[in-house]
Structure 1
Amino acid sequence: MSNSATDRATLPQTLWAARGRHTGPAPEEVLRRTLRRHKENGDVDDFAEPPVAEDATLRVFEARWRAGGTVTVRARLTLRAPEGRPQGHEWQLVAEAERPWDETWPSPATLFWPEDGTGEDGSWDHHATVAGLRLRQVNALPADDKEMRRRLRDAARGSWCVNVVVHEAMTPDEQGRLPLARLLPPGLRHRVVEHRAAPHQFRAVNWALKALGVEVPRGGAVLLPPDPAPEAFDGREHSVRSVFLDGTEPAELVAALRHFVTLPWPLPQGAGEALTDLRENWTLMTLQEELDRERRRVDVYAEALEAMTKSRDLYQQAAEQALEALAAYRDVPPAPAVPQQRPASRTPGALQQLTRTFERLKLTAKGQRPPAPQDPPETSADDASDTSSSAGSAAENGGPEAADGTDPSS
């Protein structure tokens, strides 16, 4: 999976998302009590706890309410038990509205968790991944420069929250040491982590922020981009030159926060899965929502049935064409057999040449017809007298053969 910001889907403007840790012993009981109280007060229309496996380490809570009296909001909180870590239960909360989120709407966190969030039940506003950070308090930066850089880097990496670094121009009074989150609109209040740098940490904090590509003005504030940040991000557009820590509303900082949260940021790691889980596994539905869901199911089944019918017709047509082709093939007379060629002789060269020569002589002898028999030539009188003279001379000379060719001694 790529870590590039451009490879992930953007955060919808209708989504409110946050996560943290609860340090108490029984956070599911705290959630049940809080949701039950809000339902009795009319703050939420209904809530539910979908069943899970008995041995599961996950608990799920759903709630539905109408923001501003008209806009339906569906929210889902998942609570996961710690796995070998004593830091407490981790929670993730996603809430999706029917239209873009309004910062004046109540914070979904305070509809699931108690507003104070402290006491014997523990607190729910601890940062999910960075130990020592709180969502609704001032988080002083470490004195060690390297530790400061590590904390800011870890806080920005894949964070579901908005991290703001505030530099104190001078040592504030008791009112100025209070968190700025209490002065923010409800929709932003529990999505902001405030990091506070002391006056003497000005150089150190900007050295720590150099890796993130931003810089905090002296006595001002800067918003940290998520890591990785989009290529078009400009830190100068999200820095505030002056933040007065006197208890008054930080108007410039609120304006920068408003602009910051409306940018098309990539979905943080895990937020996309949580949003999909909210949309696809939602169980707290009204009668109209159940009817709409069943209608969508009918449409899906109808489309699937139509696709199956078309596929069946195509298979049937192909089978018919195959049968026709087979019948036509059977009606065609068989083609004459092609004589099989004899393999070439592997006789050695001299013997092969001699064999060819005998075959030629044989063919030549067969091709010639024998000559017709001829009558013996007639012997003339002169020839006969010559023959008799020759025979007589031979007899007189005592030749072994007689004139007629027979042996006289026989």
Structure 2
Amino acid sequence: PRITCLHNHSAIDLLTTPHHAQNSQYRYSVTNRCLGAYVLNAETGEPETILADWTVLATGGVGQVFLHSTNAPGCVGAGISMAFRAGVELANLEFMQFHPTALYEERSYRRPLITEAMRGEGARLLDDRGEAFMLRHDKRGDLAPRDVVAQAMVEEMLRRGVPCLYLDVSGVKQDLPTRFPTVFEQCLEIGIDIRKEPIPVVPAAHYFCGGILTDTFGRTSMPGLYAIGECACTGLHGANRLASTSLLEAAVWGRSCGQHLARITASGREAIPRALAAAIPDWRHEGNEHHDDPALVAQDWANIRNTMWNYVGISRSKARLRRAFEDMRDLVRHIHDFYKGTRISKPLVDLFHGSQTAYVITQAAMRNKNSIGCHHRVD
């Protein structure tokens, strides 16, 4: 009963003391602190100012900045983007885990997982000619670890010039609709009967191991700001997540953060002074032009996703990352300048978050010259 859910609202930016307080005394005499967020109400089209003693980011992953992803459409790195702009400490942004087998369908950016258990029970990866290829890359063949399989698949796709590969499940002895009902139904929905034909698959951005640096309570480097879930970097996943640990992390850190905030709320500590809250201005529209043409936004997203997939994807090199850095730097500047006078909207908020997130991931990948975990450097 003490929770109010605001549906169809999107976070635009974090409110912080030096960036948003109008009274100059707070810019110089108060520690940089999170004071809440500007939030876009999609129903009215107007930004709202929401003040908060404590703000928790639980915005999920960043998979949608890549061409292929298993993530939900909203996973564009909103939390990462807002934290970066606020000067909050981030960590391990280069560690993006890719799942080797996601269902390939041209009409969607979100790709359902094809469980690796299928390969464990006899399924084989095939190229576009119907030939098995994994033994050319690893002596364990189709049972190699997911990183090795994903890297091999990308190499084959580039070599053959094809958008996807195939998973032949004819070697699975058990009844497919019974043993793998979810995969069977998902494939059937797009017209593929896996009992008769192979599954088109592609590696996809799956889980973000980096994020906003936190402690065991979810506290970030900025007072008043917390982060939990996939947008947070707790240290649990290191350079490469183990299967299912994300659910455990969400449960453990969610409970720890909630209990911590309950304690400090009850004690009355750290609340925002009323005078400081009153110094925060409402959102100011910089312009009322309507440049958010869906075609322009779609092209900007295509640039982001293709750049990240080809240059900052499963296999990286100095040359690829340098090209990505230059392209993303120019694109972020272009997006900021072009849309500056445009009235804010949900597509523009997502585009700003996505472009900024892609840019900082690229910078982190450039800095790490070692091939470690899911940061694979071919050079």
TM tier relative to shorter chain: under 0.3
Bigger Rg, which one: 1
Q: TM-score, normalised by structure 2?
A: 0.21
TM-score (norm 1): 0.20
Ranked by relative contact order (alpha carbons within 8 Å, sequence separation 6 or more), the top structure is 2
